[in-house]
Amino acid sequence: MAFPPFAVTVDLVVLTVRGDDLCALLVRRGEEPFLGRDALPGGFVRPDEDLAAAATRELAEETGLDVGHLEQLASYGAPDRDPRQRVVTVAHLALVPDQPAPTAGTDAADARWVPVAQARELAFDHDRVLADGVERARAKLEYTALATAFCGPEFTVAQLRRVYEVVWGRALDPRNFHRKVTGTPGLLDPTGETTTRDGGRPAQLYRRGPAEQLHPPLLRADT
């Protein structure tokens, strides 16, 4: 059977919360096309490899990161998106805890975190892919327990709230947020430990619980 040959790649929108910014992992391209421009990390899918496996492998290669969460985002296959040949890319979204710096991996020694608000003029159609990934992350925080993927294995309610505030760019009431998340059964698993902090009352430490969905959802509407 004759069929048109395509190259298939995976690209990764890797997001984290650093300080006051939602950041994406970008690599500087070392070859044409788009030489010198920033791009999302990614690479070819191997002949015997599933799409999810390819995404996991690329993420491990580009960064030594703990992966909080990895899911398929969408596929992009405009005929002219790569000037060399016909390429369809299956983009994936990864949410990871804040790491000191992405450890230099094999593919991309110069991978670095860039606030998504400043990530512009990326190679290929990666502006669009990044925007879709950010929008997906914002939407999913509303009704899933995904925000915990941005935190380390143990975290306080205030750290979790910080994630929501940074991703949504909106202040939340600490009191109501606390009641909401501690009142959702299965969301948070108290460790019994507390943190020593710089100048306030110590906070309870939690691990993420078994709940995946948030019911009822947290809303980001202005109202």
Partner DNA sequence: CCAAAAGTGTTGATGATACACCCATGT
Partner DNA sequence: ACATGGGTGTATCATCAACACTTTTGG
Contacts of 114 (CB under 8 A, 6+ apart): 23, 24, 25, 26, 38
**What is the closest distance, in whole angstroms, from the C-beta atom of residue 217 to DNA in the complex?**
7
Question: Tokens in use for 69?
Answer: 């969460």
Instruction: Count other Cβ atoms within 10 Å, centred on residue 58.
Output: 25
Q: Does 194 bind DNA (CB under 7 A)?
A: yes
Q: Does 220 bind a copy of itself (CB under 8 A)?
A: no
According to CB under 8 A, which residues from 48 to 67 bind a copy of itself?
48-51
According to CB under 7 A, which residues from 144 to 163 bind DNA?
156-158
- How many chain residues are in contact with a copy of itself, going by CB under 8 A? 29
**What is the closest distance, in whole angstroms, from the C-beta atom of residue 185 to a copy of itself in the complex?**
14
Rounded CA separation 93/67 (Å): 11
Q: Does 85 bind a copy of itself (CB under 8 A)?
A: yes
Phi, psi torsion values for 46, nearest 5 degrees: -80, 160
- Omega of the bond prior to 217 within 30 degrees of 0, cis? no
Single-letter amino acid code for the residue at 109: A
- Whether 117 contacts 51, CB under 8 Å: no
**With CB under 8 A as the contact rule, which of the stretches 76-84, 95-103, 108-116, 183-191 interacts with a copy of itself?**
76-84
According to CB under 7 A, which residues from 199 to 218 bind DNA?
199-204, 216-218
CA–chain centroid gap for 116, Å, is: 11
The binding site for a copy of itself (CB under 8 A) comprises 1, 3-8, 44-51, 72, 74-79, 84-86, 88, 90, 215, 221
Residues of the shown chain interacting with DNA in the complex, contacts defined by CB under 7 A: 156-158, 173-176, 178-180, 182, 194, 196-204, 216-219, 223
